[in-house]
Amino acid sequence: MKKQQQHGGAGGCPDTRPPAAAAAAAGGGPGPGGGWRRRRPLSLLPFLSLRDYGFCMAALLLFCLGSLFYQLNGGPPHFLLDLRHYLGNSTYLDDHGPPPQKVLPFPSQVVYNRVGKCGSRTVVLLLRILSEKHGFNLVTSDIHNKTRLTKNEQMELIKNISTAEQPYLFTRHVHFLNFSRFGGDQPVYINIIRDPVNRFLSNYFFRRFGDWRGEQNHMIRTPSMRQEERYLDINVCILENYPECSNPRLFYIIPYFCGQHPRCREPGEWALERAKLNVNENFLLVGILEELEDVLLLLERFLPHYFKDVLSIYKNPEHRKLGNLTVTVKKTVPSPEAIQILYQRMRYEYEFYYYVKEQFHLLKRKFGLKSHIRKPRPRPEFFIPSPLETEEPIDDEEEDDEKWLEDIYKSGGKEVLLSPFRTLGTDTASGSNNGPRYKKTKQVL
């Protein structure tokens, strides 16, 4: 009896509700076996009717279409952006205060417009190691041999350099660029030069026979060079005044410091004096390759955030093995007569070289560094420089690799200028003893 009461209508007791209500309670619907059953539109929203549900869907559709319209016509409404900006600033600044500014070292913008065949590959190899060690941005270029630029090319290159993440060091074979001329912050320049005749001979044979990095290295660099040109005797090239061994091709080092002006490529006093002026005003350090270790030591003192520990890396035996691969092969010495002619053709180059070398030695003495070479005797007007002053072997193939590499590294050098430079000597071009005129670069957060 209790069982029948619990189950109500299912157990035999008559259902006293109207037929329509009973059918609805039983889950019936239109069709066979039941009447009409009213469904809820959503189980999560039982209070909505079908009309309310349709209204919500239409409003959501209109909202989506409106958002799409705003995005297609310049983004979301400005009041939403302002509201987001206000809420974002107020909540973050109130809780945490202003974000800390990135502290940059000074200088944080350095340019190494490296002179060809003056130890630049050795220094670039060091810079790659140092950039990973100290975390500065080493910016290089895929363009290696375009040193003279048009005005538009200068503007484009300066823009690309200036927008690099700081602190950066940019390096490329390019003549001096005046950033301030195009409204940019003038970076600090560094560079290295070497004895002009030695540089010329190194470049002459490198173009023809490459270095120890590979037997076909020279073929890749000068694939169109004819065999008679490749094996042209250096004395014939000089004595018979071939274009490669005469001006303006021999006027090579000074334009890197003179700049992009067309007169900078004309051998003469104007380019020489302008190069000296730029050295004094824009170059922190210009070194001579013959004293490379002292150059690296001074760079470490002047730019520790770039060059800290550079000397220990440079003296590491593993690094010396890599440096051995960048030495030019098959170099021979021209006759004394040919060297005399080269010296006369390169007299402006030598005047600039001696000027830089003298200032470099003054700077070394100021910092307590002693030159490891004997004091040179006064040079006559047409002194014949020995092409072996830079210690590189004549017969590369017979020289011991380790000793050769050690000699190469001992021969490296640099000369210094700019702020320490100006306190030591007089500006040749202007005759003044004013301090450095470069200004501190703008720090970008």
Three-state secondary structure call for residue 225: coil
Residue 352 is classified by DSSP as: H
The residues annotated as belonging to the active site are 173
The pLDDT of residue 1? 45
The pLDDT of residue 208? 86
Residue, of 259 and 435, whose pLDDT is higher: 259
pLDDT at 123 over 70: yes
Residue, of 25 and 112, whose pLDDT is higher: 112
Q: How far apart are CA 385 and CA 376, in angstroms?
A: 12
Cα 388 to chain centroid distance, Å, stands at 34
DSSP characters over 24-67:
HHTT--SSTT----PPPS-SS-TT--HHHHHHHHHHHHHHHHHH
Q: Which helix (H) or strand (E) holds 86?
A: helix 78-96
**How does the average pLDDT of the chain come out, rounded?**
75
Q: How far apart are CA 130 and CA 277, in angstroms?
A: 30
Give me the long-range contacts of 160-167 (CB less than 8 A, separation at least 24).
161/109, 161/111, 161/187, 162/109, 164/137, 164/139, 165/137, 166/104, 166/108, 166/109, 166/137, 166/443, 166/444, 167/104, 167/105, 167/107, 167/108, 167/109, 167/110, 167/136, 167/137, 167/305, 167/306
Taking each helix axis from N to C end, the angle separating 292-302 and 401-410, rounded to the nearest 10 degrees, works out to 50
The pLDDT of residue 209? 82
Structure confidence by residue, pLDDT tens digits, 310-356: 999 999 988 777 665 566 667 789 999 999 999 999 999 999 999 99
pLDDT tier for residue 302 given thresholds of 50, 70 and 90: very high
Structure confidence by residue, pLDDT tens digits, 178-198: 999 999 999 999 999 999 999
Structure confidence by residue, pLDDT tens digits, 76-92: 556 666 766 666 555 54
pLDDT tier for residue 138 given thresholds of 50, 70 and 90: very high
The pLDDT of residue 186? 95
Residue, of 33 and 387, whose pLDDT is higher: 33
The pLDDT of residue 80? 63
* Of the candidates 440, 435, 395, the residue with the CA atom closest to the CA atom of residue 419: 435
Which whole number is the average pLDDT over 265-293? 97
Residue 260 is classified by DSSP as: S
pLDDT tier for residue 106 given thresholds of 50, 70 and 90: confident
The pLDDT of residue 93? 52
Residue, of 325 and 268, whose pLDDT is higher: 268
Structure confidence by residue, pLDDT tens digits, 348-401: 999 999 999 999 999 999 998 876 555 554 454 444 444 333 333 323 333 333
Q: Are 312 and 409 in contact (CB under 8 A)?
A: no
Q: Are 286 and 271 in contact (CB under 8 A)?
A: no
The pLDDT of residue 400? 35
CA angle 406, 408, 412 (to 5 degrees): 115
pLDDT at 426 over 50: no
The pLDDT of residue 182? 93
Q: Which residues contact 160 (CB under 8 A, 6 or more apart)?
A: none
Token couple for 418: 């700019």
pLDDT at 32 over 90: no
Which whole number is the average pLDDT over 159-167? 95
Q: Are 157 and 177 in contact (CB under 8 A)?
A: yes
Structure confidence by residue, pLDDT tens digits, 216-242: 555 555 677 888 888 899 999 999 999
